Amino acid sequence: MTADGQITYREALREALREALSADDRVFLMGEDVGRYGGCYAVSKGLLAEFGPERIRDTPLSESAFVGAGIGAAIAGMRPVVEVMTVNFSLLALDQIVNNAATLRHMSGGQVGVPVVIRMATGAGRQLAAQHSHSLEAWYAHVPGLKVLAPATIPDARFMLGAALRDPDPVILFEHVMLYNASGPVPDGAGCEPIDRAVVRRAGRDVSLIAYGGTLAKALEAAEALAGDGIAAEVVDLRSLRPLDEATLLESVRRTRRAVVVDEGWRSGSLAAEISARLMEGAFWQLDAPVARVCAAEVPIPYARHLEQAALPQPAAVVAAAKAAMGAR
């Protein structure tokens, strides 16, 4: 933490882990390079020296094995935090997450809970090329039995993990790679919002910009640009992708009568498509324009920086979509 009270996103996550490890002996962290190396994104740096190898466990390079071990530990009464280095590596553990963690409470008639938290980095912007730049949040948000969270702010990074560990069911925590270096304060009273509720980050009357994770900052930047043209955009941070807080979304859209969904996933089969459908179903008669979507281009994410940036949602595209919804003002 800096002298002016600023803390980075990664430091906020580390403090959340430290707090959870200190408060409950059942909590432990496991994953690739989380111990001696300090984590691929340095989130767990220093925790091995503080808590020891029983609580900070380096694992073999086998996502299916260590995610499965985390699920087993959760069933046995522990509170594991499993770090999957990036979301694309989680594909190797899909069977464990979808067929085991998400289903066991249902298949056991409520007798078996799986209180595991699975953290994973997601998103693009760091020139990590097509195999390490996925935004697959919609895949997990599709699955009943999982809760899916996307902290986009420093306070949410600080406090969502603790709330997730108190949940009796599996929680997926998506951390956008471009947020780790972001910094900001943790205000007094932060962390009071339920983790399954969306939050209005900027009030407005003309159009709702709906975003999450790495797209929130872009939506806020677009809202600032729109304000210069006399358009008051409301920015809604989803925070929870499953369950979706429909009530807050519908309340915002009924107020502004227009919506733009900003989603780093590909447009086809996207989370933005699901949100758009729910807004059409719940607020059709209040809408003055079709719900717009700003998504990643339908290509594998390029390595070259200028192509990568061109493939991702950018504030200018959000501004253009909002103005189109306003009638090209």
Q: What is the mean pLDDT of the chain?
A: 96
**Cα torsion angle, 112, 149, 269, 306, sign:** negative
Domain assignment present for 189 = no
Task: State the pLDDT at residue 4.
Answer: 63
Domain assignment present for 286 = yes
pTM over 0.85: yes
Instruction: Give me the phi and psi of 285, to 5 degrees please.
Output: -75, -15
pLDDT digits over 95-125, tens only? 999 999 999 999 999 999 999 999 999 999 9
Range of the domain at 220: 199-325
Residues 6+ positions from 62 with CB-CB distance below 8 Å: 92
Task: State the pLDDT at residue 190.
Answer: 78
Instruction: Out of 11, 32, 83, 132, pick the active-site residue.
Output: 132
Instruction: Out of 63, 137, 175, 308, pick the active-site residue.
Output: 63
Question: Residue 329: pLDDT band by 50, 70, 90 thresholds?
Answer: very low
DSSP letters spanning 269-320: T-HHHHHHHHHHHHHGGG-SSPPEEEEE-SSPPPSSHHHHHHHS--HHHHHH
The token duo for 110 is 């409520």
Mean pLDDT in residue range 2-24? 90
Domain assignment present for 297 = yes
My answer on whether 138 and 180 are in the same domain is yes
Domain assignment present for 92 = yes
Sheet-wide strand order for 56-58 = 56-58, 27-31, 79-86, 117-122, 171-176, 147-149, 240-242
Instruction: Look at residues 184, 214, 241 and tell me which one is the last residue of a structural domain.
Output: 184
Question: Residue 243: pLDDT band by 50, 70, 90 thresholds?
Answer: very high
The number of folded domains in the chain is 2
Residues 6+ positions from 10 with CB-CB distance below 8 Å: 41, 42, 43, 180, 181
Mean pLDDT in residue range 59-65? 96
CATH number for the domain that contains residue 36: 3.40.50.970
Counting DSSP H helices and E strands in the chain, the numbers are 12, 14
Domain assignment present for 246 = yes
Task: State the pLDDT at residue 295.
Answer: 98
pLDDT digits over 208-233, tens only? 999 999 999 999 999 999 999 999 99
Mean pLDDT in residue range 304-321? 98
Domain assignment present for 192 = no
The token duo for 245 is 């807080």
Task: State the pLDDT at residue 1.
Answer: 56
My answer on whether 139 and 58 are in the same domain is yes
My answer on whether 258 and 154 are in the same domain is no
Residues 171, 146: contact at Cβ < 8 Å?
yes
Question: What beta strand segments (E) does the chain contain?
Answer: 7-8, 27-31, 56-58, 79-86, 117-122, 147-149, 171-176, 183-184, 199-202, 207-211, 233-237, 240-242, 259-266, 292-296
Mean pLDDT in residue range 248-259? 98
My answer on whether 160 and 235 are in the same domain is no
Residue 96: HSE in the Cβ half-sphere, 13 Å Cα cutoff? 23
pLDDT at 2 over 70: no
Mean pLDDT in residue range 122-148? 96
Question: Residue 187: pLDDT band by 50, 70, 90 thresholds?
Answer: confident
My answer on whether 260 and 220 are in the same domain is yes
Domain assignment present for 294 = yes
Residue 63 designated active-site:
yes
Residue 142 designated active-site:
no
My answer on whether 258 and 113 are in the same domain is no
pLDDT at 28 over 70: yes
Domain assignment present for 193 = no
My answer on whether 158 and 50 are in the same domain is yes
Question: Residue 192: pLDDT band by 50, 70, 90 thresholds?
Answer: confident
CATH number for the domain that contains residue 210: 3.40.50.920
pLDDT cut 70: percent of the chain above it? 98
